[in-house]
Amino acid sequence: MRMFESVLIANRGEIACRIIRTAKRMGLRTIAVYSDADRDALFVRMADEAYRIGPAAARESYLLGDVILDVAKKAKAKAIHPGYGFLSENADFAEACGKAKIAFIGPPPSAIRAMGLKDAAKALLEKAGVPVVLGYHGAKQDTAFLRQRASNIGYPVLIKAVAGGGGKGMRRVDRQIDFDEALASAQREAKNAFGDPRVLVEKYVTAPRHIEMQIFADRFGNVVHLFERDCSLQRRHQKVIEEAPAPGMTPEMRAAMGKAATDAARAVGYVGAGTVEFIVDGSEGLRPDGFFFMEMNTRLQVEHPVTEAITGLDLVELQLRVAAGERLPFKQHDLKMNGHAVEARLYAEDPAKGFLPSTGKLVALSFPQDDGLRVDTGVVQGDSVTPYYDPMIAKLIVHKATREEALAGLADALQATRVAGPHSNLAFLEALCRAPDFIAGAFDTGFIDRNLETLGAVPAATDRIAAATALHALLDPPSALASSPWDMRDGFQLSGTRLLSWPVMLNGEADTIRVAWDGQGLLVDGFDPEANVALVRDGASFYALHKGRQTVLGPREPGAAGHEGGDGDGAIKAPMHGKIVAIDVKPGQTVTRGTRVAIVEAMKMEHALVAKRDGVVGDIALKPGDQVAEGGVILTIGDPD
């Protein structure tokens, strides 16, 4: 069959850019679709053609299969690549593409349906001889029944959404007393993310490793695996760092896991790229009898670049060729691994605030130019991270001869990366890459949670050093930064050292930095000339980048409250733009510090807000379903009577 002449990318951001690059290299006409929030996005600029499909919310744009299909017909697209997320595992959409005689770059609708619901998939593959985790995968969903099944399985258990993935609708429960609340939260999140609140309950595997096999199949019955990826470094069941091959993997286990993965693909008549994910009992090392089927993702994975690095293959090109009717150009024995690859997901999130998503303009964004480094991104400096979609800024992938070299190379690349504007997990990722136990291969899916305090630890002086450096550069001529609208000098005295308390806004809070003039130069309290601080100016503010963190320094705002203000007026404010999912208190109710008072959903994840003080609930400004801006007051807590 002939290769397609054109392809529409039914996705956005980094994966849309990734697909467009390969499609253009192959000579295909590329067609983008975009929401109002993405009108000026990088992938829109890269595509040969682009069409608006709706407002910013995904449910009103990227999830509208009929609208996207109408655009494909109008643009005379010969194929649609769904990327990952959105419509990538929507069997009805794949079926509609077939009826419209537009190729869907993915497996047959029957395979999507077979693997799309975790409970049905596990039942099917158990019959095919693929090992599965002990659990309840049935249709009954009432709380009392599921609570009893959890008790029968034995705690800890894992509640998982039947549909979808990405850690959404997933909760670990260690005690029966916590089960009902965790179940309600998982069901609610699953409903919001996938339109399906159903869950399954499984035994939580001790010392679990998350290892997956990349599989590929063509229309002629050829099925191969492209080796494994280890995705065990996770937060809230979201992958953070992925690598290939898996540390400690033996040839015997690779063969057993590869056979299970390809058997799973054959059991559902699979075609194209897919990933079979396994949970591995790592308590006694990796063993051929110690892995269990978890789920199959019937699409390309975010972490596919590490597989591309060690195999030398372009998985998107293979997807396009297989969808066009070509045979796989290799057999299993032809495939070899070369070196080691590690990928880190750079997110716009604030580790200092529980990794809450962060939004805003990317005032600075740059990456080093190093051998062995690949950067996949959907944004450039000047673009914005919006509250409507996943907050990933980029993926950094390093390929080296050995795992140790790859981890060191990735750590160095992260250290040299510059991000300003939204907060990022840059320093956290670097700390992970340099963590001795991770380097030694002593880790599982709980590694980050167990070591969170150490991994997120930044010297308390970091912000002060960064702010003092920025102020020093601002005040010390002949610096080019000295032409600030708030560059005024004061503190005149006839003799001795001149002292001045300089009022500033430091990370959004009123603060004071002491400045002295000793007759020879400025002495700024906290300034360290040896500190590696990069300064980025945006209007009247300065972003001081130091040790992977940003410190924002600006002029004191009139009436600004200082950081010494404690709990202030008791206002519970939204930490990010989002939607109110639940209000857990009523006016007049007495609460104690730490009581959950509301839940906000942002970027497809739920975030619980708690009382910061003992007191009585006052005014409640919003109700479930309302949208709230970052910093918006949801309710107040006053002094107890």
Percent of the residues in the chain that have a pLDDT greater than 90, as a whole number: 60
pLDDT in tens, 514-543: 888 766 667 888 888 888 899 998 888 889
Q: Which of 112-116, 188-192, 545-549, 602-606 has the lowest mean pLDDT?
A: 602-606
Tokens linked to 364: 């600075």
Q: What is the largest CA-CA distance in the chain?
A: 91
Phi, psi values for residue 152, rounded to 5°: -65, -40
556 pLDDT higher than 90: no
Burial 221-260 (b: 16+ CB within 10 A, else e): eebbbbbbbbbbbbbbbbbbbbbbbbbebeeebbebbbeb
pLDDT score for 121:
79
Tokens linked to 222: 């050829």
pLDDT score for 351:
86
Q: How far apart (Å, rounded) are the C-alpha atoms in residues 550 and 467?
A: 10
pLDDT score for 130:
84
The CA-CA-CA angle for residues 230, 396, 459, to 5°, reads 95
Amino acid at 447: F
pLDDT score for 559:
58
| Alpha helices (H) in 426-527, listed in sequence order | 426-433, 436-439, 447-450, 452-455, 462-475
Site of tokens 């010969």: 78
Phi, psi values for residue 154, rounded to 5°: 100, 130
| DSSP SS3 for 279 | strand
pLDDT score for 1:
61
Find the helix or strand (DSSP H, E) in which 209 lies.
strand 208-217
pLDDT score for 476:
66
Tokens linked to 143: 């709380």
pLDDT score for 500:
75
**C-alpha distances in Å from residue 169, one per residue of 98, 192, 601:** 31, 9, 12
Helices 315-323, 13-25: crossing angle, 10 deg rounding: 70
The chain-wide mean pLDDT, for the chain, equals 89
Domains of the chain in start order, with CATH, are 6-105 (3.40.50.20), 134-203 (3.30.1490.20), 206-338 (3.30.470.20), 346-457 (3.30.470.20), 462-555 (3.30.700), 566-638 (2.40.50.100)
Q: How far apart (Å, rounded) are the C-alpha atoms in residues 155 and 151?
A: 7
pTM of the entire structure?
A: 0.83
Q: Find the catalytic residue in 18, 172, 235, 299.
A: 299
pLDDT in tens, 45-102: 999 999 999 999 999 999 999 999 999 999 999 999 999 999 999 999 999 999 999 9
- Note whether 12 and 378 are within 8 A (CB): yes
509 pLDDT higher than 60: yes
- Mean pLDDT, rounded, for 491-497: 50
Nearest to 332 by CA among 226, 433, 482: 226
pLDDT in tens, 17-61: 999 999 999 999 999 999 999 999 999 999 999 999 999 999 999
493 pLDDT higher than 90: no
364 pLDDT higher than 50: yes
Find the helix or strand (DSSP H, E) in which 318 lies.
helix 315-323
- Note whether 399 and 406 are within 8 A (CB): yes
| DSSP SS3 for 334 | helix
Annotated catalytic residue 59: no
177 pLDDT higher than 90: yes
Chain-centre distance of CA 30, in angstroms? Answer: 26
**Edge-to-edge, what's the strand order for the sheet holding 633-638?**
571-573, 633-638, 615-620, 590-591
- Note whether 614 and 639 are within 8 A (CB): no
Phi, psi values for residue 458, rounded to 5°: -130, 135
Q: Which pairs from 579-583 meet CB under 8 Å and 24+ separation?
A: 579/625, 579/626, 579/627, 579/628, 580/622, 580/623, 580/624, 580/625, 580/626, 580/627, 580/628, 580/634, 581/188, 581/192, 581/606, 581/624, 582/624, 583/620, 583/622, 583/623, 583/624, 583/634, 583/635
386 pLDDT higher than 70: yes
